[in-house]
Amino acid sequence: MPRKTFNILALGTSLLLTLAACTRESPPVKGFVLPEGDLVKGEKVFVKYNCHACHTIPGVDLPRIEPPPPFVMAIGGEVYRVKNSGELLTAVLNPTHVLSQEYVAKLDKAQQSNVSSPMPYYGDAMSITEMINLVTFLQAQYHKLMPDFFQGYDLEN
């Protein structure tokens, strides 16, 4: 085998072994992961951008809005599936991407055919740090429920 071909094969083999070793020691991250944010600062961002005008959070005391909005959407609470940081960030940056079925149901039939979110776009106004803190605050408002699984029959009674 010519020396040039041998060197190319040796280099290729070394590269493949190096890549294979990397994947075993540090598995790839799946999904979208944000750095840790500040919960208290996230609540301040929620109020600063007036999110509480249309959203409530169970157990969180937020400033009152006058006049009250025509409808209010709850965020957080007890759920079987907690939204991940990518889903929450998408909801903030692209609110029309996935609309709440509860919101759509409150609209009359004519509005339901061409519906978009009334939520403003904040991508140009919010800093990245504000977005991270807001997502951290929102994620903390969800409490995961565990389903009641069938425990069997009580044969003693």
Q: What is the tens place of the pLDDT at every residue in 29-75? A: 466 788 899 999 999 999 999 999 989 898 899 998 888 877 788 88
Q: pLDDT (tens digit, 9 = 90+) per residue, 21-41?
A: 544 444 444 667 888 999 999
In the predicted model, what is the mean pLDDT of residues 136-151? 83
Q: How far apart are CA 75 and CA 109, in angstroms?
A: 25
Q: pLDDT (tens digit, 9 = 90+) per residue, 84-117?
A: 888 888 888 888 888 888 888 877 776 777 788 8
Helix (H) or strand (E) holding 104: helix 101-106
- The model scores a pTM over 0.75: no
Pick the CATH number of 39-144 from 2.60.40, 1.10.760, 3.30.200, 1.10.10: 1.10.760
